[in-house]
Amino acid sequence: MLASFLFVAATVAAAPAPAATSAPGALKEIGHVRATAACAELATHANSAISKALNNDLLLTQTITKLHSADLDGDEITRHNNLEELGRLAKDLRAQAVSGDSEVRRLRDIAAKSTDPKQKKELKEFADQLGGALYRQKKVANDLNGLLAAFDYHGMAKMDENQRDANEMAVGNGPPEMPDSSGSTVAHLDRIRNAPKNPTDSKLAINAAADFELRLPDITNDEANAASHIEGAVSGC
């Protein structure tokens, strides 16, 4: 899973951070409903799920912007601070999505118990579409956590490399030269120097931002589809 995501992140072309827009039929919280226990319960769970999805839309924009700007290849303090911020965004994204999904499950339960055929159908559709948006948001959070785990590994590997270099300097020599099968040390070293370089962590972050941005239209589409079922979902309220 992590390997496949990193492959995508390393190959997707970078794109500018998205600007928040409000499309026609955009998802918004339910307004007034009838003052009954059933209607109040429905509106409470629906608005909570909607709020979580909309908050995550903002967090996604912040995450993409941060991935574009994060310096992960400079000094250790700057790298640490940027990784901490990205970690916080990933944690918040996932927490909101998980909480929203819990509310969606409650809505599905309400739909299953409804005796109104129209409301049953519309409420289930609303819950399914909103649940889809929340699932996609959680997937971004999970993939971001996977990327951050890779960055942690890169950081530890770099520390090991720096320690090895320091040890070599202390004893006054470098690693032994290893000749290739033909016995040519020069040819072996040339191949190492000309080998493709792995992308830097900052570049991986930029590519991940581009990948995440490509997922935004599907999230927006799920939310718009959910919005189209709100009226039917609260019919009778």
When mean pLDDT is compared across 36-50, 79-93, 123-137, 170-184, the lowest value belongs to 170-184
Q: What share of the chain is helix, strand, coil (3-state, %, to 5)?
A: 75, 0, 25
pLDDT category at 24 given cuts 50, 70, 90 is: very low
Task: Encode pLDDT of 85-111 as tens digits.
Answer: 999 999 999 999 999 999 999 999 999
The stretch 200-213 carries a mean pLDDT of 94
134 against 153, higher pLDDT: 134
Q: What is the pLDDT of residue 15?
A: 47
Using an 8 Å Cβ cutoff, are 52 and 100 in contact? yes
Question: In terms of DSSP H, where are the helices of 76-116?
Answer: 76-113
CA angle (136, 139, 144) in 5-degree steps? 135
CA–chain centroid gap for 158, Å, is 25
Q: What is the pLDDT of residue 122?
A: 95
Q: What is the pLDDT of residue 7?
A: 41
- Packing angle, helices 117-171 and 2-11, rounded to 10: 80
